[in-house]
Chains A and B, each alone.
Chain A
């Protein structure tokens, strides 16, 4: 990995009147990384990405892309950087190809044949002559990726690329991002979907209301995530709870917030406990897995009060803020 960071943002702040949309965010993305920016809607992800591209001027802090700031290098600071913010937009009265030709001219022109290559990559070669006004949402997303690839980027910034896509479109978009990343591209991916980031990214910054609440590796995050349990609903939860074995490290059954029981433990222990409950004549009315551990942690980080965040995660968040 090169010593020059692809993204080096330090204490970046953006305010709109009383509202602080992004509050002193620090984020470093090394070259070759696949990095996730995760947070619920309104967390400040898009505002941050717009600042990366120079669409919005930060009120404080510095942003360097491959070592260059906007103030020093102007639009040259975007050399090697491409992507799109929210859904990509094009001129509906022009064809996909014509849109790409024009955007290539705004980059000083594309190498001969490059346009066809990128259209091929996103599987739009057959529809390139059609007006963009007739494209589906997914096709526009793919054209957005094609427009980004035209710049031969080293850093690809994608803001919720799967947003609005149907399941097949999401699968294809994720596969495309993985393939691009496998080619050595640095990818900065924003999402509100933990599963998407977990599947694609190595490192992640989790944001909540403009601040960083976690910054670090997905593996470390996974390590800190709460255990996944089984949510059990019976006809007599009090009796079912009483049937749980006494303090047993291999099986814990606790009352959940909604009155159901949550059982944690190895699958065999859970199976045995459920058999015990049913054999005892307690009617079993519902059984399902609780939220995925990372998803559960994401909700804890982005929705809970500060006291609710696992203690072990405070440290990296504080580090990131510094």
Chain B
């Protein structure tokens, strides 16, 4: 910076050109740039890549399989059983946590850094910022799921083998079909995962606290599982975000059924719409007084 001078040298001249309005692509590019620069996001992806391999190695080396869990008893019989065992486990709290690492922080992080005023004094609208952050959080959630699924399935098949799989009704599923069904089973996690992503986004906007935004969806998931396990709540159970994580069970039956899958898709879509609508209203109405 120049020091004070006796003669003031002008530095700026009135406007050169009118800026073009920023697009959603511009705002999303910026959010993705920030995300890729964060150690936390990269570390999460690395863990999703490496951890399944280690877990498969450990499970494969165990003499006594976890027989009390779904597909636990088959982990030494087929490499396709391990990804299903892990999918059942991941749906309990791992997937909600993995998506919340970004979605729970993506809005509250602006509060933490005091950067709302920096962002919202530019030309992008609040709605654009919200959609850009949502797209980024959703993209991260999907990438996490894909990396986790690919790493789990490939490591299981490589380490355990690609033997035929035993279905949930006792039928034998040939390897080729088993591979397709395992991939489809992991794909059924997309809807509830996005539901948790949107829940985390809402909590991130409302609480303005990254720690709460990350932890609360996990706790909410556990509470939903607890409620789902109680008797006499049959009417509520399909409405919980955790229930669709189990909808893949229907694919592994001798006579596949997709009712829970369809219900789960609708329920998750409703959760997503409600959470995002509430988040949008909250962000649009909010006074930015901090930072």
**When the two chains form their complex, are residues A109 and B20 in contact, meaning their CB atoms are under 8 A apart?**
yes
CB contacts (< 8 Å) of A151 on chain B: these are 19, 122-123
B120 at the interface (CB under 8 A from A): yes
Mark interface residues in B171-194 (1 if CB within 8 Å of A CB, else 0). 000000000000000000000000
**When the two chains form their complex, are residues A102 and B34 in contact, meaning their CB atoms are under 8 A apart?**
yes
CB contacts (< 8 Å) of A88 on chain B: these are 118
CA gap between A248 and B193 in the complex, in Å: 87
CB contacts (< 8 Å) of B20 on chain A: these are 108-109
CA gap between A171 and B5 in the complex, in Å: 10
B235 at the interface (CB under 8 A from A): no
Query: Of the candidates A84, A123, A172, A183, which one forms a contact with B12 in the assembled complex, judged by CB atoms under 8 Å apart?
Result: A183
**When the two chains form their complex, are residues A121 and B11 in contact, meaning their CB atoms are under 8 A apart?**
yes
CB contacts (< 8 Å) of A84 on chain B: these are 117-118, 121
**When the two chains form their complex, are residues A53 and B2 in contact, meaning their CB atoms are under 8 A apart?**
no
CA gap between A88 and B117 in the complex, in Å: 8
Q: How far is the CB of B131 from chain A (nearest CB, A)?
A: 13
**When the two chains form their complex, are residues A154 and B14 in contact, meaning their CB atoms are under 8 A apart?**
yes
CA gap between A47 and B290 in the complex, in Å: 11
CA gap between A101 and B39 in the complex, in Å: 20
**When the two chains form their complex, are residues A76 and B21 in contact, meaning their CB atoms are under 8 A apart?**
yes
**When the two chains form their complex, are residues A89 and B113 in contact, meaning their CB atoms are under 8 A apart?**
yes
A127 at the interface (CB under 8 A from B): no
A11 at the interface (CB under 8 A from B): no
CA gap between A80 and B17 in the complex, in Å: 10
Query: Of the candidates B16, B19, B120, which one forms a contact with A55 in the assembled complex, judged by CB atoms under 8 Å apart?
Result: B120
**When the two chains form their complex, are residues A174 and B115 in contact, meaning their CB atoms are under 8 A apart?**
no
**When the two chains form their complex, are residues B123 and A176 in contact, meaning their CB atoms are under 8 A apart?**
no
CB contacts (< 8 Å) of A74 on chain B: these are 125
CA gap between A173 and B4 in the complex, in Å: 9
CA gap between A53 and B27 in the complex, in Å: 19
Given A103-B122, A183-B14: 4 more A-B contacts, CB < 8 Å:
A50-B287, A101-B33, A108-B20, A182-B9
Binding site for B on A (CB under 8 A): 47, 50, 53-57, 74-76, 78-80, 82-86, 88-94, 98, 101-103, 105-109, 111, 121-123, 142, 147, 149, 151-154, 171-176, 178-180, 182-185
| A-B contact list, 16 entries, CB within 8 Å | A56-B288, A75-B122, A85-B121, A89-B113, A89-B291, A93-B37, A98-B37, A102-B30, A102-B34, A108-B20, A121-B1, A151-B122, A152-B15, A152-B19, A179-B10, A183-B11
